[in-house]
Structure 1
Amino acid sequence: MPAQTPPSTKKAQARRSTDKAALSPAAAAGRQSEEPWDETACDAIIEQLWTLRGKLLAYEKSLAPHLETLDPGYRTSARNFAHYLRLRQSDRRPLQESLARVGLSSLGRAESHVLANLDKVLGILHRMTGKPWHPPREDEPVGMESSRKLLERHTDELLGAPPPERAVRIMVTLSTEAAADYGLIRQLVQSGMDIARINCAHDGPDEWRAMAANVRRAAKAERRPVRILMDVGGPKLRTGALPAGAAVLKLRPQRDEFGRVVMPCLVGLRASGASLPVTGASAHVGVDAAWLEQLELGDHLDLTDARGARRSLRVVLREEGGALAECARTAYLVAETRLKRRRKGARPRSSSVSDLPSPEGTLQLVRGGILHLTRDANHAPVFKSKRKQQLPVPAVACTLPEIFKDVCVGERIWFDDGRIGGVIRRVEANWLEVEITHARDCGEKLASDKGINLPDSQLKLPALTAKDLEDLAVVAQEADLVGLSFVQRASDIAALRAGLAQLGKPDLGIVLKIETRRAFENLPELFFSAMASKAAGIMIARGDLAVECGYERLAEVQEEILWAAEAAHMPVIWATQVLETLAKTGLPSRAEITDAAMGERAECVMLNKGPHIAEAMRTLNDILRRMQAHQAKKRSLLRALRAWTLPSDIKSQ
């Protein structure tokens, strides 16, 4: 139906006396308002709303050919999403202020039913000013109730039906142990896990299949549905391998506050190359097998450690294939260390030590320092001083050298989840020079296999790698929905859908992981592309997103994503560090309890793995059940508060 034309000001003035009579109960009662109702102001608002309404419908019409290509179940949602995008293209705060002054909805909660909300406000304004109103309902894609049902339907199709006690689902990332530990999976299902997440960036197909089998077995045993999400790894931009540190084992006894030894360090001796642990040992070293067989209880093993300090161990346990020795003083064992057996009446015999742990290689970086990021370990540049002496510059390779053609001088670069930050100062064919601008006062250590983020760079990496396409075969067999990591553009989604179609799973649910600045900026394009799928949703991956967009802006960004998803009637997974301290240590922080409560505004909350994951699940379940009575998306719910009683007598102190 064509948009109605606002009535003229002259006609409005002709009905002024009638309008005033129907205007306001407060005015009829003779009461004065601080801001008297102004009919002229209402007419101005009506005109603005009609103009806005026309713009919303015009934008929808411009998208009509594309909307026809979407899944039929999402076309209505796509129309509403188009209205929301057009609504937010201009600053609506002056209009909101005008609406609030006359006591009307200021469109601040209109996401799920934009045009219907606007029409309701228009209708009320027409009634207030005595103008005729004929609701143009055929233009409205959804109303308040139908939009809620659409979101529920889309969520059920992707994530499954919610449990009876709460509306928000709980997703748990499975650890490697879940492949072999059915009891762990059973405990998670009993604690309320609705969706199990398998991260294909770790482990391999055999482990993934074992995890999925355990999930299905536990779900069947508990008689409750549990869906499986499998994330494809995506292009992993990480630091390359670094040389391992020197192999050294520190033996340190436990001491009390006075420095007295209360528990000696217990080291296991086993044949070189053996892996069987020695009973009671906190550390192990390899020794000569024949020498080991000759050890007896009470033997003393003398050594000179890496510092030149003389130490002695005593054998306190012998068992098949090993011996246990205690050390009462701190010692540092290296490959050159020899253990000399000392026994009364016997000839001394010695053995070298082996199988010492090699610490992970790291680079020490400080603010103002330089780091070279190279194509591989063979391309680190060498600079010489005037004295022809080499100046060591920390250097590390990256796993995706194709980024070198996409970066520019002056762009920011972050390492290890934002712990270390820098700016690219020089770009060469085989290496980048990075000035470190963000690190602690004492410096930071950068290790291998740490994430790299380039928030300012226009990277042309595809979201699906060759490995991801291979992994899709397992995903199509085992998963109910697939997570697309590092999605940035609509073509990434098209590639995933094409891959699933080739595997005979075109209707497999898709979850877009919003974890880069580019994905956030392209959100409308991504949403429309995802709506071509029968079941689609998004995950707000707040870890990488915070690094890419800046921690200061994360709160704003995650809010905007939630609003956009509500307008698209698309389910949201609230992820990253939810109750992480509780899951890892057993004790929550106050801030993460509040953060978990924020998750009630999503359709699913994801927990990461940890030794106390079952307790974290019980806590999250309790928080979500409580908060659903207080909050629905952006809207506060005013249930009866039982915590307070009405005071009958207020006494001043």
Structure 2
Amino acid sequence: MVHYLALRESDVRALQSRLSLYGLSSLGRSERHVRATLLTLRTVLRSLILGKTPRAIHPPISVKEGKTLLKRHTVALLGKKQRGSHVAVMVTLPSDAADNPVLIRNLIAAGMTCARINCAHDDEQTWLNMIKHIRAAAHELDTSCKICMDLAGPKLRTGAMKQGEQVLHLSPERDLYGRAVAPAVVYLSAPTPILPPDTLPVDAQWLAGLHEDDKITFVDTRGKHGMLKLERQLEKHLWRAKCYDSAYFATGVVLTVERTQASSPVLALPPREEKIILRVGDTLLLHKADIPGEPAEYNANGECIKAAHIACTLPQVFSHVKIGDPILFDDGAIEGVVRHASCEELAIEITHTTSEIGKLRSDKGINLPQTDLNLSGLTSKDLADLPFIAEHADLVSASFINTPHDVSLLLDELARLNALHLGLILKIETQKAFHHFPDILLTAMRHYPIGVMIARGDLALEVGWENLAHIQEELLRLGEAAHIPIIWATQVLETLAKKGRPSRAEISDVALAERAEGVMLNKGAHILDTIQMLERILESMQRYQDKKTSLLPALHTIIERDYSERD
């Protein structure tokens, strides 16, 4: 990598153009073997210019050795693939995977080579259940699956919102004429500590007297009469019902079985969390005080008499923010500029929303791309989680690695825990991390194996959308120069995973992912289909592309094969 950094000290674009005119290497694919490429070029040029017989060259890393090193380091970090493309597949496990060994087995069978457990969610017992299922499924399938535990890191997010009314609204799907074409679905359940969405808590004894196809009448909060029709019983104290008209339920609304006239009130509904409605030009107050956020208040003339406000999960950032700093919320859906800054509060003018109005809720990400927040990569929660990770995981992934010092702190902590056997993945997600990236890699090379994850979501917000393309390209090149595997992450085939169909842009994105050594997929209802689609695209691309090198199979065989595969 040091050779590559030396090469990039100068602008060699003009030289590249001249070399390519003579059919020589233009240095554009030399990352893994810079010295070998330069020595070969010098030998060829001496032969052409001086007519001398080429001499054998013996670089420290040959072209072949550079490729072998990267492959070896990838296998050490992410495991060896048994079939399919050469790109490792990392999948984020959902919380319910702890109680679903069949899902984990199917993920591994579909091609998952590394399971990611997000330490920002769940607890040690849940993680342990996931790990047991992974180990058992890998053993059953006679394969391997690495376990990566992702430290939560210092996440900057919005605080809690004030709790709103205890109301459940049912709304069927309607056509253009307002006619119901699909019913709203609602569940009737005995009270539970955590009530699932679209569920009405009712008396358990009343539930026991229900029959399939029973009709249940009610008068909702507006005084409107309505009816639920029972479909089927899902569990002992859980029924599924449907409603063909809009209805509003609150605690105390009475449900009556038409067949028996038995009644039960709707028991305590959970309060609905408020949201903040924001338009361009509005003011939002972001405060250090840990008090619930509230939407703005308006008088009868529509004039704002009290600005919306919400807390921030990292109070230490207030001492670093300056007037004029840009600020983004919810993955960039809402943008603003700091107009007033103090150690207790920021007054933010909203400058952009993705639609006419923006909706800001609790636990949404906050980005300050031009503010040096001086955040350390390890939090107290991370330090508390590391002993468990050291005992049970194969890899640890660290967020908010911004400087070589952050890497040193993490390596020192791993050494203290006698956990240097863990593979290490560094997530690059800030402008500061990109600026220090070469030094971060050189510091991380004290450890083995290591890898880098390009966290493109936060990175795009930090560096600007227009800069993400060339910055992710530089990260790929530097990783290759260091023979360190790169993991392509954030919203890869996200629409397919969540909705069952990919977007066209996502297909092109996966084609670019062939340049990396690993791809991370997020959880979703269609994750198995997503893994299979990912593998098909990557396998197909490998016939035409090897890193940055275009491969040229006979065109007629491509056309014939594509048509035969379609049939």
Pick the TM interval, shorter chain: 0.7 to 0.9
Structure 2 equivalent of residue 62 of structure 1: none
Contact kept, 8 Å, 2:97 with 2:104, in 1: the verdict is yes
Check if 1:127 corresponds to 2:47. yes
Q: Which residue in the other structure is 1:15 paired with? A: none
Change (3 A) 1:274 1:98: closer
AA partner of residue 141 (structure 1): P
1:339-354 equivalent positions in 2, closer than 5 A: 339=254, 352-354=265-267
Per-residue CA deviations over 1:356-375 (Å, capped at 9, x if unaligned) read 24333211111121111111
Gaps of 5+ in 1: 1-80, 646-653
Tell me the distance in 1 between the aligned counterparts of 2:298 and 2:534: 57
Candidates 402, 407, 432, aligned match of 1:493: 407
What is the number of equivalent residue pairs in this alignment? Answer: 552
Instruction: Please report how far the alpha carbon of residue 136 of structure 1 lies from its aligned counterpart in structure 2 after TM superposition.
Output: 9.4
**8 Å contact kept, 1:302–1:342:** no
8 A contact 2:427–2:453 mirrored in 1: yes
1:458-495 CA-partner distances (Å, limit 9, x unpaired): 12111010110111111111111111111101111111
Aligned residue number for residue 274 of structure 2:
361
Question: What is the match of residue 107 of structure 1?
Answer: 27
What letter matches 1:120 in structure 2? Answer: T
| Per-residue deviation, residues 25-63 of structure 1 (Å, max 9, x unmatched) | xxxxxxxxxxxxxxxxxxxxxxxxxxxxxxxxxxxxxxx
**Per-residue Cα deviation, 1:161-186 (whole angstroms, up to 9, x for no partner):** 23344321111111111111110011
Preserved contact between residue 90 and residue 112 of structure 2 (Cα < 8 Å): yes
- 5+ residue gaps in structure 2? 561-567
Q: Are 2:190 and 1:285 aligned?
A: no
Deviates most, 250-259 or 543-552:
250-259
Q: Structure 1 428/270 Cα, relative in aligned 2: closer, same or farther at 3 Å?
A: same
1:156 aligns with 2:75: yes
Q: Kindly indicate whether residue 1 of structure 2 is the aligned counterpart of residue 85 of structure 1.
A: no
Please list, as runs of the form range in 1=range in 2, the aligned pairs for 1:55-70 lying within 5 A after superposition.
Answer: none
The alpha-carbon deviation at position 102 of structure 1 amounts to: 3.4
Q: Which has the larger radius of gyration?
A: 1
Equivalent residue for 2:491, pick from 567, 577, 588: 577
Residues 426, 630 of structure 1: CA spacing in aligned structure 2 closer, same or farther, 3 A cutoff? same
Q: 1:20 is matched with which residue?
A: none
Q: Which residue of 2 aligns with 1:607?
A: 521
The answer to whether the 8 Å contact 2:160/2:293 transfers is no
**Correspondence 1:219 to 2:138:** yes
Q: Quick one: which amino acid aligns to residue 103 of structure 2?
A: L
SS of residue paired to 1:224: coil
In structure 1, C-alpha distance between the alignment counterparts of 2:181 and 2:329, rounded to whole Å: 41
1:189 to 84, 90, 108: 108
> Is residue 2:326 matched to residue 1:407?
no
Alignment deviations for residues 116-168 of structure 1 (CA, whole Å, 9 cap, x no partner): 21122222221122165886956x43121121122122222212223344321
* 1:208 aligned partner: 127
Task: Give distance in 2, aligned partners of 1:99 and 1:86.
Answer: 19
Q: 2:156 aligns with which of 231, 237, 241?
A: 237
> Shift of residue 306 of structure 1?
3.2
- Partner AA of 1:498 in structure 2: D
Structure 2: how far apart are the matches of 1:101 and 1:270?
74
Separation in 2, partners of 1:481, 1:318: 45
CA distance in 1, matches of 2:51, 2:379: 61
Contact 2:293 2:308 in 1 (8 A): no
**Preserved CA contact (<8 Å) 2:229 2:243:** no
CA distance in 1, matches of 2:215, 2:97: 43
* SS across alignment from 1:219: helix
- In 2, Cα distance between equivalents of 1:263 and 1:99: 65
In structure 2, C-alpha distance between the alignment counterparts of 1:104 and 1:419, rounded to whole Å: 47
* Secondary structure of 1:566 counterpart: helix
What residue in structure 2 maps to residue 422 of structure 1?
Answer: 336
Identity of aligned residues (%): 44
Q: Which of 303, 307, 311 is the equivalent residue of 1:393? A: 307
2:114, 2:229 → 1: CA distance?
51
Residue 247, structure 1, aligned to residue 166, structure 2: yes
State the secondary structure of the residue aligned to 1:407: coil
- Name the residue aligned to 1:145: 64
Aligned match of 1:534: 448
Alpha-carbon distance, 1:639 to partner: 3.1
Q: Flag the 1:447–1:104 CA change in 2: closer, same or farther, 3 A.
A: same
Change (3 A) 1:520 1:136: farther
2:98–2:130 contact (8 Å) kept in structure 1? yes
Verify: 1:439 aligned to 2:353, yes or no: yes
Going from structure 1 to structure 2, the CA distance change for 1:229 and 1:102 (only over 3 Å counts) comes to same
User: Structure 2 length as normaliser, TM-score?
Assistant: 0.88
Check the 8 A contact 2:297/2:308 in 1, yes or no.
Answer: no
The residue that corresponds to 2:531 in the other structure is 617
- Whole-Å separation in 2 of the counterparts to 1:110 and 1:427: 48
Residue number in structure 1 paired with 2:462: 548
Residues 1:292 and 1:576: Cα distance change in structure 2 (over 3 Å):
closer
Q: How far apart, CA to CA, are the structure 2 residues paired with 1:253 and 1:350?
A: 24
Q: What one-letter code is carried by the residue in structure 2 that aligns with 1:365?
A: L
CA contact (8 A) 1:374 1:380 kept: no
Change (3 A) 1:579 1:292: closer
Larger CA deviation: 321-330 vs 229-238: 321-330
> CA 1:105 to 1:368, structure 2 compared with 1: closer, same or farther past 3 Å?
same
Q: Would you say the 8 A contact 2:214–2:257 is kept in 1?
A: no
The residue that corresponds to 1:173 in the other structure is: 92
Q: Cα gap change, 1:168/1:341 in structure 2, threshold over 3 Å: closer, same or farther?
A: closer
Q: Distance in 2 between matches of 1:216 and 1:522?
A: 37
- C-alpha separation in 1, matches of 2:186 and 2:76: 56
Q: 1:334 aligns with which of 246, 250, 258?
A: 250
1:433 match: secondary structure: strand
- In the TM superposition, what is the alpha-carbon distance from 1:247 to its structure 2 partner? 1.6
Query: For 2:382 and 2:97, how far apart are their aligned partners in 1?
Result: 22
